[in-house]
Amino acid sequence: MEPLTTWEIIGRVLYQFSSVWVALILLFSLSVAFKRRLGLYGKLFDSPIGMIGFGLVMFWVFVGIFGAMDLIVTHDPLSQVSGMKNKVPGTPVRGAEEGEYAWYLLGGDNLARDVFSRMVSGAWIVVQIAPLATLFAFMVGITLGLPAGYYGGRLDTFLSFLANLILAFPVILLFYLLVTPEIVATGVPNYMAAVLFIFPIVFIGVLLNSRYYTRPNFRTPLLIGVLGVAIWLYLALISTSGYVVNNGDVAIPGLPSVLDPFDIPGGILVVFVSVVFVNSPTVFRIVRGLALDIKTRDYVAAAQTRGEGPWYIMLWEILPNARGPLIVDFCLRIGYTTILLGTLGFFGLGLPPESPDWGSTINEGRKLLSIYLHPALPPALALLSLVLGLNLLADGLREESLKD
């Protein structure tokens, strides 16, 4: 078997992504066709920058999803093939059997694993964690930031002090303190998860209650249903095999394993929690600032005169009017979260060392960087393009939301 030439490698990589191209073309043609009916999302397709950004982001989202569905990866990202250590891109796999992919498209890393497949699987890790962690950070930031801005006074002073306290920590020091096997063993991340994950439930509960409390017949069943599911998910999220914390000294029973549909490995949970923890103070500050600004508007005064409750005003008058900057910041923050995840991987914190996430792969590749370039460059460029896409998307959204 001959090694592939550069053009053949490019062609074959593009061909491996064919499912992604189909999905992208479908998404773009549908969105452009119906863009007038799609609100802010549709307006995105009027701005070239926003479209490029959206395209880059959706490319990696589809790569992540289809990669997890086994449509793109050529080899198992964790399996090592003998004789493929540090081989250059396009090297044929030694002794490839029938049905196996015959080349390492982007070469092998220092443990003879396929760089291309690892990059694709790394996308799935980012796509799973980054948006969800950002969403949680937003829930925490909004639930605390709205009352801080709206009420002001002591509550504001206290919460702002806490937020500044966390922001004064260098992020990497915080990661080194929180994301170590020793700390995972003490159960500190589990306690933090138990506290942080309450905020989305509080948020949803207050949101629905403040809107429908005048119609108890509708509100009560709605709240019971929604909060029931939310609390079940919450308990399932924080408990592993029947316990919230179980480290020999302390054992707090959680949801019994029968009702627990998924277990989150300790490594992922601690990464998730620390990323949410680092991001939420910044969101808090943004929301607080917006609430301070918007609470002086006339429609808030009108709602107050009408006799609406404070939470109704915060969640149904102030929050919808703050959505523009918040959506833009959401995009930027997903990018920042991606960078943080990469940082964690780069320092070898949290995720297991063989994990194919981009940060860990860059960290492993950099050790031999002066001799072999190919293991470190693909994940580095992947991370760069995803974050760039999110930045461009945020720029496009900002431009379009300022137009009206």
Partner 1 sequence: MGLFILRRFGVMLLTALCLTFVVFFLTNLYPNLEKLAKTQGNQRMSDEQVANWLENRGYSQPLLVKYGQWLGVAPGFTNTLSDGQVVGSCIRPGVDPENIPTFCGVLQGEWGQSTVFKDDVGAIVSKRLGNTGYLMFWVLVLMIPSALIVGVLAGMKEGSFLDRSLSTFSIITTATPEYVSGVIFIAIFTSSTVGLKWFKGTATSAMDNPTFENFFLPVLTISLYGMGYIARMTRASMTEVMTAQYIRTARLKGVSFPNIVMKHALRNALIAPFTVIMLQFPWLLNGVVIVETLFNYKGFGWALVQAAGNNDIQLLLAISVVSVFVVLFTQLISDIGYVYLNPRIRIS
Judged by the rule CB under 8 A, the positions of this chain that interact with partner 1 are 161, 164-165, 167-173, 176-178, 180, 182-183, 185-186, 188, 335, 339, 342-343, 346-347, 359, 362-363, 365-366, 369-373, 376-377, 380-381, 383-384, 387-388, 390-392, 395
Task: Identify residue 331 by its one-letter amino acid code.
Answer: C
Of 90 and 359, the one with the shorter C-beta distance to partner 1 is 359
Residue 268's alpha-carbon distances to 195, 196, 295, 344, in angstroms, are 17, 15, 39, 11
Give 3-state DSSP helix, strand, coil % of the chain, rounded to 5: 70, 5, 25
Q: Strand, coil or helix: what is 379?
A: helix
Task: Identify residue 157 by its one-letter amino acid code.
Answer: T
We find the least distance from the C-beta atom of residue 384 to partner 1, in angstroms, to be: 5
Question: Computed from CA positions of residues 132, 21, 108, 99, in that sequence, does the dihedral angle turn out positive or negative?
Answer: positive
Of 46 and 260, the one with the shorter C-beta distance to partner 1 is 46
Question: Computed from CA positions of residues 57, 114, 125, 270, in that sequence, does the dihedral angle turn out positive or negative?
Answer: negative
Residue showing tokens 């949680």: 136
Give bridge partners of residue 114 from the DSSP assignment.
Answer: 108
Of 162 and 206, the one with the shorter C-beta distance to partner 1 is 162
Of 62 and 346, the one with the shorter C-beta distance to partner 1 is 346
We find the least distance from the C-beta atom of residue 186 to partner 1, in angstroms, to be: 5
We find the least distance from the C-beta atom of residue 358 to partner 1, in angstroms, to be: 9
We find the least distance from the C-beta atom of residue 185 to partner 1, in angstroms, to be: 5
We find the least distance from the C-beta atom of residue 334 to partner 1, in angstroms, to be: 12
Of 171 and 268, the one with the shorter C-beta distance to partner 1 is 171
Of 59 and 312, the one with the shorter C-beta distance to partner 1 is 59
We find the least distance from the C-beta atom of residue 297 to partner 1, in angstroms, to be: 22
Distance separating alpha carbons of residues 367 and 388, to the nearest angstrom: 26
Residues 6+ apart with CB under 8 A from 59: 20, 24, 385, 389
We find the least distance from the C-beta atom of residue 30 to partner 1, in angstroms, to be: 27
Of 319 and 387, the one with the shorter C-beta distance to partner 1 is 387
Residues 6+ apart with CB under 8 A from 119: 106, 356, 358, 361, 378, 379, 382
